[in-house]
A and B are shown apart, each in its own frame.
Chain A
């Protein structure tokens, strides 16, 4: 499930983003550029604006002001085009509880106009360790199994921009190892990853950059090519 060589590696520019929900301002003049192929750990406490930023990057939400630009090899991409190359794991599983694991993946494979759907779904289920539960309804799954399937769904179309909102939530030790292995493979494949977390997990060791948000602003940024370890260590100490 690595990034497809046919999909372009994507970069994202957030320019002076504000996001307001009534009187509450979730993001305040946030500017950030994520280069193609970067693995960015988005850190911060609850309410720092991580989820809002990810939802804006996923085009599920428009900023109140400011601009989000997507590009590949410095060529700008239209937001409508980018959806095809974007995958997201959110707080919720984004899965239908009344469908089986295979039915969920089939549905999304069809919506992404993928080819060879049965083989692709089988591979995805094997990859996330749910091949034996392919015909089971998702509502019978544990939280960890749902989370694995949610990641399998997000990776089904080999996205080149992966947005992960607390992807380790609900995963057991084995699940965390699987998540780390999968993300390492994606990073090697050139996939751009933006992963939010407020808790320490092994996947953070893959990060090539760490950005800490506070009060809707970028508080600290290790920078492109910088060392993310001091920021990640701070998170470990807080945990």
Chain B
């Protein structure tokens, strides 16, 4: 079976499982909303301050929510050792990883569909005219977060303190992504809004490098 086809089957399985349990999405959305709302209460920013600090607060909320969401991605395969059933199947380990990455990307993007409008209202920022460009920045930023996070979720799944281990491993690695995503988002909220191709290139390069690395190491990742 080809890798894309197997990844789509895994994606379908992840979506069905999530629709049935709502284990990841509910926690992620609620957590990210709480972070954004609490930040707005704590800082009570003006429109100019929002343009300056808002993107950073937004991406920090995405990062924390993402690391919360990614934790069960592999850990929930351990309850009945279903990860073994997937590894027994004649599919590549990368397709398994890719399927989970696609599912996590959909979950995070769905959470952001709720989070971003709430953020815009609370921080008095207008999204008109920048929606498509913002979607591009979010897509590149989310992809990097999810690719790296899914890999580390597989690494930390067998650890006893995985809830703590995942953010400890993940957040330092994501520093370049955080900086690039914040700068690219800040450029969009500036007056006039602009698409900063330099930071977009860094985001794109981050995604390609970590996706390639995950392809190279996936056999070791999923091995006991």
A positions within 8 Å CB-CB of B:
55, 58-62, 80, 83-84, 86-88, 90-99, 103, 107-108, 110-113, 153
Contacts and interface: CB of A to CB of B under 8 A. Distances in A.
Nearest to A98: B20
Interface string B67-100: 0000000000001111011111111000000000
Contacts of B158: none
A108 B20 CA distance: 18
Interface stretch (B9-17, B120-128, B134-142): B9-17
Nearest to A92: B81
B191 interface: no
Contact of B88 (A83, A91, A93): A83
B1 interface: yes
A94 B224 contact: no
A97 B20 CA distance: 11
B154 interface: no
Contacts of B13: 96, 107
A94 B84 contact: yes
Given A62-B223, A95-B80, 8 more contacts: A60-B87, A61-B223, A86-B88, A88-B84, A91-B81, A92-B81, A93-B80, A94-B84
15 contacts: A55-B224, A60-B224, A83-B89, A86-B88, A88-B84, A90-B84, A92-B80, A92-B81, A93-B80, A98-B17, A98-B21, A107-B9, A111-B89, A112-B89, A113-B1
Closest 9 A-B residue pairs measured CB to CB? A94-B85, A92-B81, A111-B89, A84-B90, A83-B90, A92-B80, A98-B20, A110-B9, A113-B1
Given A97-B79, A111-B6, A103 B223 contact: no
Given A98-B17, A99-B16, A111 B82 contact: no
Contacts of B80: 92-97
B86 A111 contact: yes
A88 B16 contact: no
A94 B81 CA distance: 5
Interface SS majority for chain A: loop
Contact of A111 (B9, B79, B81): B9
Given A96-B80, A99-B17, A58 B88 contact: yes
A60 B88 contact: yes
Contact of B91 (A97, A99, A111): A111
A88 B37 CA distance: 50
A21 B90 CA distance: 27
B84 to A, nearest CB: 6
A112 B89 CA distance: 6
A91 B78 CA distance: 12
A112 B16 contact: no
Given A61-B224, A103-B16, A95 B85 contact: yes
Contacts of B91: 111
A112 B6 CA distance: 9
A167 B6 CA distance: 29
Contacts of B90: 80, 83-84, 111-113
Nearest to A82: B90
A60 B82 CA distance: 12
B88 A88 contact: yes
A98 to B, nearest CB: 5
Contacts of A98: 17, 20-21
Given A60-B88, A107-B9, A96 B223 contact: no
B4 to A, nearest CB: 14
B29 to A, nearest CB: 20
Contacts of A112: 89-90
Contacts of B87: 60
Most interface-central of B21, B81, B86, B90 (chain A CB within 10 A): B90
A11 to B, nearest CB: 19
A108 B85 CA distance: 8
